[in-house]
């Protein structure tokens, strides 16, 4: 049973279909990446999963339980740890206070006995502090223990925010661009850290990330969103060279990018899984409807027992092996390195191309019409 | 399966802690940003601090209880301090601006007067009922605050206070209408001095609760939701419940202050709860210093002296002022209040608390230094009222 199972998730803000029929599975111990161009709906998907938005249709299941309509704080208490794109912390409080605040749901004394100052509350406050110190130590952040968070550098903030998410004692961690504001070295370090954290805390992760080397390094499986729809999914190395993904990032047909990509064995497997969406990519007009069929078909296939389609289920094998091999840095490095080398930043480094203005316009439309509160009110 | 994995994980977290927590605490001692060398006050320093505490205690316990008149005025200051702390929970911790706090105070006052004078309920119970009713009214406003925030909420609280004054507080059957409601203190508290000590004891309890609030999960939850409700919910904080909790706690304390207020004067009427009073309450919290309970108490004391014109009652000052301003001298407290607010907002956002920080820090056992410390101490609210 997957830890997180998102089915047919759709949400509409006014005239903008932010997400449409999105399916995401995250299995135990997996690190799953969610990538896509700006405005593709990644953060919206996060907000739907963690309960900040109520999706129009679709379900979110956590270990088999339907949690689609559950309030965010209850999900947090249940084991959903998350970070935010623009750093979610209490800026006027110190790092230590933030880590104590983040443990809110785990505190067992009630508010009244806290106000009265019962001995249990004193004892537990000390425990909270110890736990916070342990997390600071784990992230090498002990030096900023009593520093107000507002004055820290962005990279440090992102790391401390990860610490806060850990302090909520999560079962599944949803990280929104954890490496933003970090240099290449720091981001490598972060990748290492995520793998270690998975091992130490037995975490399952879903992360939004733009930094391709990091995705290749840590993710077991990648979903690509574009215009609110799933464009493709598969192993990171396969996704990296997937022509439609490359095209989406480049903002058009991008013939030269298509020409550069090479077919691999896993590509063939993916082609099978995505039911021939590839040949639709050369003409943009016909591609769109086919994509839709693709994303709807994919989950049905994946829910079949793995024995029936061994080629397309390479992921299932990986899942089983994940706790052993992916947490071992050496093994995963061997598998990831060769893919990184040739063109590590193809999708990101590509400048704005033919279709980009359209996308920007859509994004702008989204920003101007979308107000979260309005959307919440609508669905309420 | 879910349960098992959860157990496994928490077990890992538990086992991971003790080993790492130990070296951590050692590390913290020589950490760069931590308050590294623990300052040990010298004997002289201890004596000096002791002397300051003794002087303060003498002032509060002996000097202010010298005679009935002074004790009565000191009681007013204490009641103001309770109102200030009540409002501070909303403005300072939760980031909700209330411009109708005189309404809660009035609800408490009239409730206490009604149940004790009309129904013969004993003093202590009457105060408890006043707190309960104050909390209920605040809860009502809390539900509105769940939907509306910022400037609009401030406007609604403003209307709330004014409407209460003009409608509920004018009800003949409960509040005695224009004639006002009476409340008589029990026999043992007839003396102003004794009543002063009672109010002082209650203020101490309120201060204790306020201190515990900031040191436990409820206070942290309020600070988190003040800054960002989404982040608060991601931390597992029930934003709705804690917002309502802040209103209820604040309303109960304001009701308490109202009850103490009516017993202090023996009677009250709707004219005691003008919009001006609500503004004074906000002023004293902001000028006192958002985020600091000592500052709020001092600001409240200052404004109680100004608002009740005790400072201007002093004969030489009175003559001097009326010589210049004649009939207009009644507006002087308002002018001083406005001036203090401006200087606070422009020059020291931390209010009186910020100005006194070197002294309060020294009294807390730290080294005396004029430099503000940014790394520790209570979280100073930066312009939260402006944001609210």
B36 to chain A: which residues are within 8 Å by CB?
Answer: none
Looking at residue B137, its pLDDT comes to 95
pLDDT tens for each residue of B102-149: 999 999 999 999 999 888 889 999 999 999 999 999 999 999 988 888
Residues A339 and A333: their CA atoms lie apart, in Å, by 10
Looking at residue B332, its pLDDT comes to 76
Q: Closest chain A residue to B382 measured between Cα atoms?
A: A92
Nearest to B268 by CA among B281, B257, B284: B257
Nearest to A46 by CA among A30, A26, A27, A16: A26
Looking at residue A25, its pLDDT comes to 93
Alpha helices per DSSP H over A84-118: 95-102, 111-116
Contact assignment for A73 to B25 by CB distance below 8 Å: no
Looking at residue B43, its pLDDT comes to 85
Pairing of strands A57-62, A4-13: antiparallel
pLDDT tens for each residue of A142-181: 999 999 998 888 888 999 999 999 999 999 999 999 988 8
A81 to chain B: which residues are within 8 Å by CB?
Answer: 234
The overall longest dimension of chain A from CA atoms, in Å, is: 71
Contact assignment for A137 to B208 by CB distance below 8 Å: no
Q: Which residue out of B234, B291, B350, B384 would a mutagenesis test of the A interface target, given it has the greatest number of A Cβ atoms within 10 Å?
A: B234
Which of B8, B35, B231 is nearest residue A88 as measured by Cβ atoms?
B231
CA distance B57 to chain A (A): 25
The dihedral formed by the CA atoms of B358, B360, B366 and B369, expressed in degrees to the nearest 10? 10
**Token pair of A165 as six digits:** 């998410």
Residues A132 and B207: their CA atoms lie apart, in Å, by 27
CA distance B103 to chain A (A): 25
Contact assignment for B221 to A105 by CB distance below 8 Å: no
Looking at residue A272, its pLDDT comes to 55
Contact assignment for B20 to A100 by CB distance below 8 Å: no
**Token pair of B39 as six digits:** 């300052």
Contact assignment for B6 to A79 by CB distance below 8 Å: yes
Looking at residue A264, its pLDDT comes to 52
Write out the E strands in A102-260.
172-176, 204-208, 221-226, 229-234
Name the stretches of chain B with pLDDT < 50: 1-36, 374-388
Contacts 24+ apart (CB under 8 A), A256-264: A257/A346, A257/A350, A260/A343, A264/A237, A264/A238
Do A10 and A58 form a contact (C-beta atoms < 8 A)? yes
Which of A51, A73, A134 is nearest residue B237 as measured by Cβ atoms?
A73
Do B110 and B174 form a contact (C-beta atoms < 8 A)? yes
B25 to chain A: which residues are within 8 Å by CB?
Answer: 133
Q: Rounded to whole angstroms, what are the CA distances from A156 to A87, A150, B218, B347?
A: 10, 11, 27, 31
Site of tokens 């840590």 = A218
Residues B230 and A231: their CA atoms lie apart, in Å, by 29
Nearest to A366 by CA among A102, A40, A104: A40
Do A171 and A79 form a contact (C-beta atoms < 8 A)? yes
- For B271, phi and psi rounded to 5 degrees? -65, -15
pLDDT tens for each residue of A108-142: 899 999 999 899 999 999 999 999 999 999 999 99
B217 to chain A: which residues are within 8 Å by CB?
Answer: 104, 107, 109, 111, 114
pLDDT value at A292 more than 90: no
Contact assignment for A92 to B382 by CB distance below 8 Å: yes
Looking at residue B141, its pLDDT comes to 92
Site of tokens 């049905």 = A300
Residues A220 and A320: their CA atoms lie apart, in Å, by 11
pLDDT value at A372 more than 90: no
Per-residue confidence band for A352, with pLDDT thresholds at 50, 70 and 90: very low
Helix, strand or coil for residue A61? strand
Which of B1, B20, B232 is nearest residue A137 as measured by Cβ atoms?
B20
**Token pair of B76 as six digits:** 């007013």
Per-residue confidence band for A334, with pLDDT thresholds at 50, 70 and 90: very low
pLDDT value at A311 more than 70: no
DSSP letter, residue B367? P
Looking at residue B76, its pLDDT comes to 92
pLDDT value at A279 more than 80: no
Contact assignment for A146 to B33 by CB distance below 8 Å: yes
CA distance A329 to chain B (A): 21
Looking at residue B6, its pLDDT comes to 44
Half-sphere exposure of A239 (CA within 13 A, CB side): 28
Average predicted confidence (pLDDT) for chain A: 74
Residues B10 and B16: their CA atoms lie apart, in Å, by 10
CA distance B124 to chain A (A): 20
What is the crossing angle of helices B239-265 and B192-215, to 10°?
Answer: 170
Looking at residue B205, its pLDDT comes to 97
Give buried/exposed letters for A207-237 (b at 16+ CB in 10 A, else e).
bbbbbbbbbbbbbbbbbbbbbbbbbbbbbbb
Cβ neighbours of A266 (radius 10 Å):
17
| Strand partners of residue A4 | A26, A62
Per-residue confidence band for A49, with pLDDT thresholds at 50, 70 and 90: very high
A82 to chain B: which residues are within 8 Å by CB?
Answer: 234
Lowest mean pLDDT among A70-79, A130-139, A207-216, B74-83: A207-216
B374 to chain A: which residues are within 8 Å by CB?
Answer: 147-148, 151
Most confidently predicted of A254-263, A304-313, B3-12, B213-222 = B213-222
Per-residue confidence band for A59, with pLDDT thresholds at 50, 70 and 90: very high
Site of tokens 């501070």 = B88
Q: What is the pTM of this model?
A: 0.76
Residues B177 and B109: their CA atoms lie apart, in Å, by 14
Question: For A56-71, what is the mean pLDDT?
Answer: 93
Question: For A255-275, what is the mean pLDDT?
Answer: 52
Per-residue confidence band for A254, with pLDDT thresholds at 50, 70 and 90: very low
């Amino acid at each position: 049973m997957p830890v997180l199972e998102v089915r047919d998730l759709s949400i509409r803000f006014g005239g903008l279909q932010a997400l449409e029929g999105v399916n995401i599975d995250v299995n135990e111990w997996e690190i799953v990446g969610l990538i896509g161009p700006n405005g593709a709906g990644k953060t919206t998907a996060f907000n739907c999963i963690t309960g900040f938005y109520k999706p129009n249709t679709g379900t979110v299941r956590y270990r088999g339980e339907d949690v689609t309509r559950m309030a965010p704080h209850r999900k947090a208490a249940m084991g959903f740890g998350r970070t935010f794109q623009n750093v979610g912390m209490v800026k006027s409080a110190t790092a230590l206070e933030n880590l104590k605040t983040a443990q809110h749901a785990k505190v067992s004394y009630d508010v009244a006995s806290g106000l009265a100052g019962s001995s249990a509350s004193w004892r537990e406050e000390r425990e909270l502090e110890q736990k916070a110190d342990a997390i600071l130590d784990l992230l090498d952040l002990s030096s900023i223990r009593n520093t107000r968070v507002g004055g820290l550098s962005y990279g440090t903030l992102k790391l401390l925010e990860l610490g806060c998410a850990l302090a909520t004692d999560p079962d599944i961690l949803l990280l929104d661009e954890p490496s933003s504001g970090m240099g290449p070295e720091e981001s490598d370090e972060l990748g290492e850290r995520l793998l270690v954290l998975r091992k130490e805390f037995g975490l399952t992760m879903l992360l939004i990330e733009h930094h391709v080397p990091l995705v290749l390094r840590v993710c077991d499986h990648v979903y690509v969103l574009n215009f609110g729809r799933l464009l493709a999914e598969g192993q990171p190395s396969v996704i990296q060279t997937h022509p439609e993904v490359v095209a989406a990032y480049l903002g058009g047909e991008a013939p030269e990018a298509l020409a550069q990509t090479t077919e691999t064995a896993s590509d063939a497997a993916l082609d099978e899984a995505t039911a021939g969406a590839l040949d639709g990519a050369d003409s943009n007009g016909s591609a769109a409807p086919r994509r839709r069929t693709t994303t709807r078909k994919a989950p049905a296939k994946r829910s079949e027992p793995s024995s029936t389609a061994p080629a397309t289920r390479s992921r299932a094998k990986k899942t089983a092996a994940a706790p052993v091999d992916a947490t071992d840095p050496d093994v995963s490095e061997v598998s990831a390195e060769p893919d990184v080398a040739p063109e590590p930043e193809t999708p990101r480094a590509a400048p704005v191309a033919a279709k980009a203005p359209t996308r920007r316009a859509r994004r702008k439309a989204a920003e101007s019409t979308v107000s979260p509160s309005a959307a919440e009110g609508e669905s309420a | 399966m879910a349960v098992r994995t959860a157990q496994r994980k928490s077990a890992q977290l538990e086992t991971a802690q003790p080993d790492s927590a130990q070296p951590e605490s050692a590390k913290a001692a020589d950490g760069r940003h931590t308050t590294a060398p623990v300052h040990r006050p010298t004997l002289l320093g201890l004596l000096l601090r002791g002397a300051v505490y003794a002087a303060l205690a003498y002032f509060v316990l002996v000097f202010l209880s010298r005679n009935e008149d002074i004790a009565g005025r000191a009681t007013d200051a204490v009641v103001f301090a309770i109102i200030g702390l009540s409002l501070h929970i909303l403005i300072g911790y939760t980031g909700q601006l209330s411009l109708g706090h005189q309404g809660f105070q009035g609800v408490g006052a009239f409730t206490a007067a009604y149940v004790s004078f009309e129904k013969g309920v004993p003093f202590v119970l009457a105060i408890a009922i006043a707190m309960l009713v104050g909390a209920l009214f605040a809860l009502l406003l809390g539900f509105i605050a769940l939907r509306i925030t910022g400037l609009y909420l401030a406007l609604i609280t403003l209307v709330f206070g004014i409407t209460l004054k003009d409608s509920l507080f004018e009800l003949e059957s409960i509040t005695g209408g224009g004639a006002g409601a009476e409340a008589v203190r029990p026999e043992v508290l007839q003396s102003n001095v004794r009543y002063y000590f009672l109010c002082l004891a209650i203020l101490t309890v309120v201060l204790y609760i306020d201190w515990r609030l900031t040191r436990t999960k409820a206070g942290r939850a309020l600070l988190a939701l003040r800054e960002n409700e989404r982040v608060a919910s991601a931390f597992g904080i029930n934003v709705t419940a804690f917002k309502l909790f802040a209103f209820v706690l604040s309303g109960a304390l304001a009701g308490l202050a109202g009850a103490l207020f009516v017993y202090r004067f023996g009677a009250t009427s709707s004219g005691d709860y003008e919009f001006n009073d609500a503004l004074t309450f906000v002023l004293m919290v902001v000028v006192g210093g958002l985020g600091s309970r000592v500052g709020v108490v001092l600001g409240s004391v200052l404004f109680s002296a100004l608002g009740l014109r005790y400072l201007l009652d002093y004969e030489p000052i009175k003559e001097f002022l009326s010589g210049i301003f004649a009939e207009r001298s009644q507006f002087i407290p308002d002018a001083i209040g406005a001036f203090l607010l401006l200087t606070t907002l422009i020059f020291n956002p931390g209010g009186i608390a910020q100005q006194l920080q070197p002294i309060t820090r020294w009294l807390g056992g730290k080294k005396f230094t004029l430099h503000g410390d940014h790394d520790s101490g209570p979280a100073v609210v930066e312009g939260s009222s402006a944001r609210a």
